[in-house]
Amino acid sequence: MNVFLESHNINNKAGGLGTFNYQLIKAISNLDISNLDITLNAKHPKRLQNEFKNTFKYSKYTSLERHFLFRKKTKYDVWHSLNQNTKVEPFFKPKKYILTIHDVNFVEEISTNMNHKVNKKFIEKLNRADVITYISEFAKKQTHQYFNVPNVPEHIIYNGNPSEVKIENNSFVPDFKLNQPFFYSIGDFIPRKNFLSIVKMMSFIEGYRLIISGNNQKEYGYEISKYITENNLQDKVILTGKVSDEAKQYYLENCTAFLFPSIREGFGLPPIEAMKFDKPVFLSNLTSLPEIGGDAAFYWDNFDPYYMKTFLFSKLNDFESNKHFYLEKIRTRANFFSWEKAAKQYLELYK
């Protein structure tokens, strides 16, 4: 069977889509796929070939593929679009087209007008799909809220935990002095991540620092940097920029708690990564986060900075007082999400 994975988002492992692409493909590579011919689409196929050898076939992605005449001309039994926003589509109709939907936040952030080009493109993908998978119940509910979803099989396949395999003998050391306990967060610097709320909270906190990782060289990052400077929080808040896997693991291993106040998530990988390191996790109570964190996380009801600080330390005190109770919940939740489990479910769909 000929399977094509539209996986060009794998190039950006710092983002959620890149992580999803890479972790799913890595998990598939560890399973028996001898009866499948799987082709990966990537901007740098040689990098993938160096890692996965002849487990897969490889196709070089170019931006021209977004245009009809330059689409892949090979006929595939299964075409799996790993991201609902990708503009790369098959030239010939495959026997089965699988669409994975992570979220439809673009409706709320760009336009609710179904004639807007972003929504029209997505509707085309929906109508092309023979099977739809969602990464959470929330993603399914959100999609049905805004769109007329075709009457095709739908499946919820949860993401795995990127921290299932930890880096041994991690030698990373930060290039700044860390002489105080710290809170950690990571993600793309876009307004929906709501990092500014935890930065504002730090005005009310002494004896701790806040470290946030991710590409802050963009508008929301500049806004946060400006706020830090104008409010003299340089000694309390550190923006590291993008980080390596080694650096991320160091911060997750050594933080006091993981903070993730995002207001829109289709899934939310970082919180379950932090749980793998036995860390108390603090989330907003919005969109998919209560579904993913379950009863193993603590949830802010609003983003008033003084309330956030009070809630944070109240729950940290509970955590320290009942550590065995909370660690059992955290470990169970972290282990519930498995890339091997997800990969097996996707392979079943291909078959």
Residue 8 exposure: Cα atoms within 13 Å on the Cβ side = 16
Residue 169 has pLDDT above 90, yes or no: no
| pLDDT band with cut points at 50, 70 and 90 for residue 14 | low
Stretch among 6-20, 110-124, 204-218 having the lowest mean pLDDT: 6-20
* Rounded-to-integer distance, Cα 234 and Cα 242, Å: 18
Q: By percentage, how much of the chain surpasses pLDDT 90?
A: 91
> What pLDDT sits at residue 276?
96
* Rounded-to-integer distance, Cα 11 and Cα 21, Å: 9
CB 236 within 8 A of CB 210: yes
Q: By percentage, how much of the chain surpasses pLDDT 70?
A: 99
Residue 224 falls in which region: left (phi positive, over 0), alpha (psi -120 to 50) or beta: alpha
What's the whole-model pTM score?
Answer: 0.92
> What pLDDT sits at residue 155?
98
* Per-residue pLDDT tens over the stretch 250-290: 999 999 999 999 999 999 999 999 999 999 999 999 999 99
Q: In the 8-state DSSP scheme, what is residue 267? A: S
Burial label for 210, CB within 10 Å (0-12, 13-18, 19+), is buried
